[in-house]
């Protein structure tokens, strides 16, 4: 998805890539404002001084009022993540789970966060750990009232890093990511797959699958693909082989009959395509 993201999605995981701070600020205000009607606690996580963030949020009257009432807060990055270090994914998920529970205990309906995450992915080690964490926290979001928009500065990170981050979010404005691999049901680690997968995305898919570390259940690795517009035979082989290495059959669920026909033509063992309405 390259534009027009729905900031009002009830519990979502959005990657927003920007080239200018003002554009990111507008989207951050929209995303946070969408949490007011359902009664969510709002956080803006920043590595910079809080004063400029407070000023730009206050340009929206609803957020200015939310800040005054303590519904919205500006939170320092080092109070939420450990900037400059490699993220501990499971520990970070637990931290957000605790913050979500605290919001619920305080009477809110959930926790909605904007995080300017560029400082957390500057080194290769940081990027590898953080992309793995992105899929872990995405699984948590499937069942709990927590949503987040992660902001990344394209000018600093470059297109390749942006693609590696964006493809592990269910929603993104980044044209660099031709597909999205995301969590569906944490109980059996079902994944979702959207977008287009052709030759240009094979290397990115290989990296994304390694970082997502999908786990089969009862010998089946299920991938829901209602928004997958195109996939070539090599990408299908990659998915099938990924499942095989985990001792599983790949089950790809799609509403597109053409995908089932392609799988039948290839006659691949270890691959099932189920037509879904």
Give the Cα separation of 252 and 236 in Å (integer): 9
pLDDT the model gives residue 6: 45
H/E segment holding residue 15: strand 13-18
C-alpha dihedral, 35 to 176 to 183 to 235, nearest 10°:
160
pTM above 0.85, yes or no: yes
- DSSP at 20: S
Per-position pLDDT tens, the chain of length 277: 334 444 444 458 999 999 999 999 999 999 999 999 999 999 999 988 999 999 999 999 999 999 999 999 999 988 888 767 899 999 999 999 999 999 999 999 999 999 999 999 999 999 999 999 999 999 999 999 999 999 999 999 999 999 999 999 999 999 999 999 999 877 777 899 999 999 999 999 999 999 999 999 999 999 999 999 999 999 999 999 999 999 999 999 998 888 878 888 888 889 998 887 7
What's the pLDDT score for residue 150?
96
How is residue 228 written in tokens? 């997958």
pLDDT at 275: 85
Q: What is the set of domains in the chain, with CATH numbers?
A: 13-176 (3.40.50.300), 184-275 (3.30.750.24)
The pLDDT of residue 8: 42
pLDDT at site 269 = 85
Residue 125: count other Cβ atoms within 10 Å of its Cβ.
12
* H/E element, 225: strand 220-231
Q: Which of 187, 191, 178 is nearest to 253 (CA)?
A: 191
Q: What is the pLDDT of residue 9?
A: 46
What span, in angstroms and rounded, lies between the C-alpha atoms of 225 and 195?
9
Nearest partner of 255 among 273, 271, 232, judged by Cα? 273
| 269/107 Cα distance (integer angstroms) | 52
């Amino acid at each position: 998805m390259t534009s027009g993201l729905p900031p009002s999605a009830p519990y979502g995981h959005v990657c927003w890539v920007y080239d200018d701070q003002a554009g990111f600020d507008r989207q951050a205000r929209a995303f946070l404002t969408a949490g007011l009607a359902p009664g969510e606690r709002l956080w803006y996580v920043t590595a910079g001084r809080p004063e400029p963030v407070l000023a730009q949020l206050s340009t929206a009257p609803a957020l200015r009022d939310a800040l005054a009432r303590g519904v919205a807060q500006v939170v320092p990055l080092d109070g939420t993540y450990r900037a400059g270090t490699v993220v501990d994914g499971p520990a970070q998920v637990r931290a957000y789970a605790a913050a979500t529970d605290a919001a619920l205990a305080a009477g809110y309906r959930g926790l909605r966060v904007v995080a300017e995450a560029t400082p957390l992915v500057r080194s290769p080690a940081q990027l590898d750990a953080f992309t793995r964490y992105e899929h872990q926290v995405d699984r948590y979001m499937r069942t709990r009232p927590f949503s987040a928009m992660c902001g990344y500065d394209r000018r600093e990170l470059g297109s390749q890093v942006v693609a590696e981050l964006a493809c592990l979010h269910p929603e993104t404005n980044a044209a660099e990511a031709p597909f999205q691999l995301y969590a569906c049901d944490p109980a059996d680690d079902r994944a979702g797959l959207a977008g287009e997968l052709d030759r240009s995305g094979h290397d990115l898919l290989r990296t994304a699958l390694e970082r997502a570390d999908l786990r089969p259940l009862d010998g089946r690795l299920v991938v829901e693909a209602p928004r997958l517009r195109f996939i070539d035979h090599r990408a299908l082989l990659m998915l099938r082989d990924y499942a095989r290495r985990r001792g599983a059959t790949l089950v790809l669920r799609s509403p597109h009959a053409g995908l089932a026909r392609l799988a039948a033509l290839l006659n691949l063992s270890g691959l099932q395509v189920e037509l879904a309405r």
